[in-house]
Amino acid sequence: MAPLLEIRDARRTFLTPEGGRLAALDGVSLSVEANEFVTLLGPSGCGKTTLLRAISGFEALDSGTMVLDGADLSALPPFRRPVNTVFQSYALFGHMTVARNVGYALEVAGVAKSQREVQVAEVLEKVGLAGLGARRPGQLSGGQRQRVALARSIIAKPRLLLLDEPLSALDRNLRQQMQLELKSLQHALGIAFIFVTHDQEEALTMSDWIVVMRAGKIEQIGTPREIYRQPKNRFVAEFIGETNLFPVTVDRVEGGDALARTADGVELRLPVLGRKAGEQVTAILRPADFTLGPTGIPGRVSRAVYLGSDLYLFVQPQAGGPEIRVIARDNQDAREGSAVHLSHDPARVHVLEAG
Amino acid sequence: MALRRQSVVLGVLLAPVTLFLGIFFLLPLCIIAVFSFLTPGLYGGVEWTFYHWNYGRIFGWADGFIEIFEPVYLQILWRSLSFAALTVILTLILCYPVAFWVSRLSDRWRLVFLFLITLPFFSSLIVRLYAWLLILKPTGLLNTVLLNIGLISEPLEILYTPAAVVLGMVYVMVPFMFLPLYASVDTLDRAQIEASLDLGANRVQTFLKVVLPQTLPGIIGGAVIVFIPSVGNFVVPDVLGGAKGLMIGNLVEQQFLSSRNWPFGSALSMIIMAVVLTVLMVSVRRAKKVGGHA
């Protein structure tokens, strides 16, 4: 079956005020299946918003094709695309009531008022705003406005919903709650979501697929677990979560493991598969991959941050080199200045070829 | 304690403006209101006896002996209102698209344009209107150019017609319409326009349902500011108008200066004011109704 949305080699260049050229989209290809939650993740200026605006029709592509449900999108103006958007600023109509905001898509499509009211009440119920239809957006809290924007964009049952950093204005607790609600809403509605964010935690929590972008290019597409455990390159590894990167030289292959060592002499054990003595690679270990124990890399705790159930440690290896970040259980006896040994399971190490 | 002190301070601060408006605005207004019900003196001024024929002359209950009802006054009032309404409509049509254009200019060019819009205020209104007189007269710039390029075979009679008056008023009032319009267009939320398009509204629907309601306060503001001085305007018809372009403001002026009938002039003034106040109240109420902004 053909994917719901198929983007091929999308390119878009902007002129900067200084007269230079900036490739916001530099050959992006992406396909989205029906009922998937896809997140575009990347630092600001990576082209994720441009890609979203190209799909909604507010930005034209210089070249490339976009096909939605078998129909070429590029010839359609925004109001003819079966795609709706939740805007970052919400963009609620201030001069209309909440109910009229939510029913707007039906109103302009010519749906009868009585039918509209039924559907509006239904959708408001769905997003947890039942009974607030008579209010004006100005009388709502930030979280409620967010829900109105959401309700407004799903009432016409689009094939694809675009969300442009919709949670960025909310405080942390509300944001986490909305993340879970969005995910279950997406599941219940059966609409494909394309969600733009620069918040990697948000991306990991909600997505079926994460698309990591940088400088107009896609760096990696994968499930949250793939992106986190097997980043394709340094950029992805460093952008997603806390990471320890070790440029190492493989020393020798011994038994089930390959022994490798950094320029400073920190010793690591890598999965043996495909390793040859003498080659240079980058080993990636997440902070939680280390355990404090009697053996392993000797070091000294230079800083310990208490996180509740966990301890966040910065460990200076005895051999030298950059500090290693470690997340340990709080019940471990490690405080600033204490000597520790860090051990790790070779299977948890992800290896980037060519350090 | 603090509250009382605050109100004392407020009173002191407000006293000068209250005094000024009371003496130079409210008092003369009361005098006009009283005069409009007094008998005109034989050589100007008033005689202190009650007299309702001033209004009777205008609205039709004159006795036909001392004072004669003449429908021309109502006609001139009606003409003034329609000239003013026409001025509002024309300035609105001129300024609305321009406001959008200017709000999209770069900061620098926007400032230049806003300066240009206020430039006419730097020179005298009379001088500017005489410039129009020179342009519009039969041997003036407009006719000379049109004759020379062969578009017309004889000079157009524009000067001293209603068209000339409306043209002059539009010219004078354009800045007053533009500035409130621009203020409302400039603060228009572009994201809402995109949201409307995104939700399936075409450009016309988006204009009618989002852009127009959001800029309506500016439209109403501009319309009020243009309409009120237009109704009572007497300088423009004086310079460009002639007999057929006479407006109610000229009538008032005549009563006080050449005809020396102060009570009748006062009655006409009261009528202008009543009309203007009605327009103002209706539009304020309308603006309140639609302006429930977030």
pLDDT digits (tens, 9 = 90+) for A76-85: 999 999 999 9
Strands A71-72 and A339-344: unpaired
Give B128-176 pLDDT, tens digit per residue: 999 999 999 888 899 999 999 988 888 888 889 899 999 999 999 999 9
Residue B57, in any domain of the structure: no
Residue B133, in any domain of the structure: yes
Kindly report which listed range (A277-281, B56-60, B64-68, B202-206) carries the lowest average pLDDT score.
B64-68
CB contact under 8 Å between B200 and A58, yes or no, is no
Give chain B's domain count.
1
Kindly report which listed range (A174-178, A343-347, B100-104, B241-245) carries the lowest average pLDDT score.
B241-245
**Contact residues, chain B, for A108 at CB < 8 Å:** 196, 199-202, 205, 209
Give B76-87 pLDDT, tens digit per residue: 999 999 999 999
CA neighbor of B236 nearest in space, from B248, B221, B222: B248
Average pLDDT over residues B95-112: 93
Average pLDDT over residues B164-190: 94
Share of chain B above pLDDT 90, in %: 63
What parts of chain A have a pLDDT lower than 50?
355
B5 touches chain A (CB under 8 A): no
Average pLDDT over residues B251-255: 91
Cβ(B224)–Cβ(B276) under 8 Å?
Answer: no
Q: Bridge-partner residues for A32, per DSSP?
A: A5
Q: What's residue B62's pLDDT?
A: 78
Taking 3-state DSSP, the helix, strand and coil percentages for chain A, each rounded to the nearest 5, stand at 25, 35, 35
B108, B199, B209: best to mutate for the A interface, most A CBs within 10 A: B199
**Contact residues, chain B, for A152 at CB < 8 Å:** 195, 199
* Alpha-carbon distances of A248 from A261, A275, A336, B39, B174, rounded to whole Å: 5, 12, 27, 110, 74
Residue B60, in any domain of the structure: no
**Closest approach of B37 to chain A, Cα-based (Å):** 47
Q: What's residue B66's pLDDT?
A: 76
Q: What's residue A324's pLDDT?
A: 93
Per domain, the residue ranges of chain A are: 5-239, 244-353
CB contact under 8 Å between A105 and B213, yes or no, is no
- Residue B292 pLDDT grade (very low, low, confident, very high; cuts 50, 70, 90): very low
Task: Give residue B189's domain range.
Answer: 71-290
CATH number at residue B145: 1.10.3720.10
CA distance A161 to A84: 5
How does A16-42 read in b/e, with b if 16+ C-beta sit within 10 Å? eeeeeebbbbbebebbbeeebbbbbbb
Q: What's residue A172's pLDDT?
A: 86
Average predicted confidence (pLDDT) for chain B: 90
CB contact under 8 Å between B292 and A58, yes or no, is no
Side by side, the strands of the sheet bearing A160-164 are A83-86, A160-164, A192-197, A37-41, A209-214, A217-222
Cβ(B197)–Cβ(B231) under 8 Å?
Answer: no
Average pLDDT over residues B29-47: 90
Give B259-271 pLDDT, tens digit per residue: 889 999 999 999 9
B54 touches chain A (CB under 8 A): no
CA distance A128 to A278: 60
Q: Which residue has the higher pLDDT, A32 or B66?
A: A32
Residue B41, in any domain of the structure: no
**Closest approach of B144 to chain A, Cα-based (Å):** 47
Question: Which residue type does A153 have?
Answer: S
Residue B7, in any domain of the structure: no
CA neighbor of B99 nearest in space, from B1, B219, B206: B219
Residue B145, in any domain of the structure: yes
Average pLDDT over residues B93-115: 94
Q: What's residue A1's pLDDT?
A: 63
| Count of CA atoms in the C-beta half-sphere (13 A) of A122 | 12
- Residue B280 pLDDT grade (very low, low, confident, very high; cuts 50, 70, 90): confident
Domain boundaries A5-239, CATH class: alpha beta
Nearest to A95 among B195, B203, B292 (CB): B292
Q: What's residue B293's pLDDT?
A: 43
Beta-strand ranges (E) seen in A33-159 are 37-41, 63-68, 71-72, 83-86
Q: Is 80 exceeded by the pLDDT of residue B294?
A: no
CB contact under 8 Å between B209 and A108, yes or no, is yes
Residue B256 phi, psi dihedral angles, 5° rounding? -80, -35
Does the A244-353 domain belong in CATH 2.60.40.10? no
Residue B52, in any domain of the structure: no
Residue B62, in any domain of the structure: no
Q: What's residue B290's pLDDT?
A: 63
Average pLDDT over residues B28-46: 90
